[in-house]
Amino acid sequence: MHYRIRVADTADKITAIKLVRELTGLGLKASLDLVEARAFFEADREDATLRRIVEDGARAGVRFEFDPPLDLAVTAGGDVSGRPTGPTGEFAIRYRSGVNKIAAIKLVRELNPELGLANARDVVEGQGLVCTGVGAAEVERILGLFAELGASVEVERVAMTCAPEPNLPSPRAGKRPYGQASEDDDF
């Protein structure tokens, strides 16, 4: 589809120029002029390509304006941020990237009060799981919180099994299931 696009706001001019060059095929100087003037330009790209560019821009603090508006809400299996389209099921949220890691660490700690500062930092720096077993409504709320920070997260459907987990005795009970060794065993 044919769109008129402009860089509405940017925290990273270099990334904005690269993305405009990718959209238009123009040279460095012409792309720089478009970014600095915040002028509209025309692009005829597939919606999937535009969504990817918008996602890349959002991670770097670059916001685009489209005419007609680009519908970011619908893609196969979810929208551009990986949000689930169905209202049921349980999901896990994995941190991917963001421009403000300190704010992301604070948010991870707010969502997981049992985590210490070092553990929350490890989640953010290691692209770890922020939370798991979250319902669809809570996923929407958490995605909004990370979006406000300019952070990118990924939503994964948690695999659900029908078979109950085996009822193994706990190690604290003094009995161990067959085949488990402890550090007290002599070999």
Name the amino acid, one letter, at 76: A
**Percentage, residues of the chain above pLDDT 90:** 11
DSSP for residue 127: T
For 91-119, the pLDDT digits (tens) are 888 888 888 889 999 999 988 888 888 88
Nearest CA to 130 out of 121, 82, 147, 78 is that of 121
Task: Choose between 81 and 21: higher pLDDT.
Answer: 21
User: Is the distance from CB of 85 to CB of 137 less than 8 angstroms?
Assistant: no
Distance CA 127, CA 119 (A): 12
Full strand arrangement of the beta sheet holding 2-10 = 41-44, 2-10, 62-67
pTM of the model: 0.41
